[in-house]
Amino acid sequence: MSSINQRLNNNLLQLELLEIKSYLPNYLEQVTAGKMSFSEALLALTTKELNYKHQAQVERTITRARFPSVKTLEAFDFTFQPSIKKQEILELKSLAFMDKAENILLVGSPGVGKTHLAIALGREACQQGARVLFINCHELLLRLRKADDKDELDRALNRYARYDLLIIDELGYLPIKHDEANLFFQLINARYERKSTIITSNSALSSWVDIFQNPTVTAAILDRLVHHVHTIRITGKSYRLKTKL
């Protein structure tokens, strides 16, 4: 008997069914005692394995998304920020916006929760198995510029265009050079009507022309971005200062 158990454990190990392996003794006991049928036990065990594998997959997706911190919608205090319509955010949580390749712009002064909401929505997308990347705007531009310098722009653009959800954080904290604005346009254009992009910015859209320093490119970027967009303007106080008071 013990050799059968040993071989069974060995098989489960080789098949990487580690959840089943660890729960098996409990279920064997119940089946032997007649408290559960073999099929019921097998169903329970395989369900445990599936849940575990799904959760591990979600965690890998979250790691690859490179979020700078863990933020969730559950942890967001909507009463502190009444300019945000809770219902609108909860609708975004359904991720229907991604099926329609719609974008989200989160605009507001520092500390109002733009990055928090962007990460929280990104995590929801990871839960659903989407490929997500969170990247700071200037890091993104730097990478595109480096790729361009090495004659590898197409490859880089392809890569960033493929993410199901791209979160570009902190657009407009620094001015953007003319050639970078062009690169940014190419990326937005590549994702247009195909994949969703979330952008956080402390600048209203009307001042983006000062950020990109080129009215033609700014118009082209805005044209693509806002064609299908949910704009969340947050006008409240900084949550960072709240905790200091």
| 76 makes contact with ligand ADP (CB under 6 A) | yes
Written as six digits, the tokens of 139 are 């890091």
Q: Which of residues 97-116 bind Mg ion (CB under 5 A)?
A: 115
Nearer to ligand ADP, 112 or 133 (CB): 112
Give buried/exposed letters for 120-144 (b at 16+ CB in 10 A, else e). Answer: bbbbbbbeeebebbbbbbbebbeeb
| Total chain residues near ligand ADP (CB under 6 A) | 17
Please tell me whether residue 110 binds ligand ADP under the rule CB under 6 A. yes
Q: Does 173 bind ligand ADP (CB under 6 A)?
A: no
Please state, in angstroms and rounded to a whole number, the distance separating the CA atoms of residues 9 and 156: 46
Nearer to ligand ADP, 182 or 200 (CB): 200
Q: In what order do the strands lie in the sheet with 196-201?
A: 132-136, 165-171, 196-201, 103-108, 229-234
For Mg ion, the closer CB: 115 or 186: 115
Angle at 226 between CA 103 and CA 102, to 5 degrees: 25
- Site membership for ligand ADP, residue 115 (CB under 6 A): yes
191 token code pair: 């994702």
Backbone region of residue 16 per phi and psi (left: phi > 0; alpha: psi in -120 to 50; beta: other values): left
Cβ of residue 76: shortest distance to ligand ADP, in angstroms? 5
**CB–CB of 184/172 below 8 Å?**
no
* Nearest distance from C-beta of residue 22 to ligand ADP, angstroms: 36
Nearer to ligand ADP, 114 or 195 (CB): 114
Residue 80, binding choice from ligand ADP, Mg ion, none, Cβ under 5 to 8 Å by partner class: ligand ADP
Closest CA to 46 of 80, 12, 79, 5: 12
CB of 65 to Mg ion, least distance (A): 16
| Interface of this chain with ligand ADP, residues 186 to 245, rule: CB under 6 A | 200, 239-240
Least separation in angstroms between residue 213's CB and ligand ADP is 23
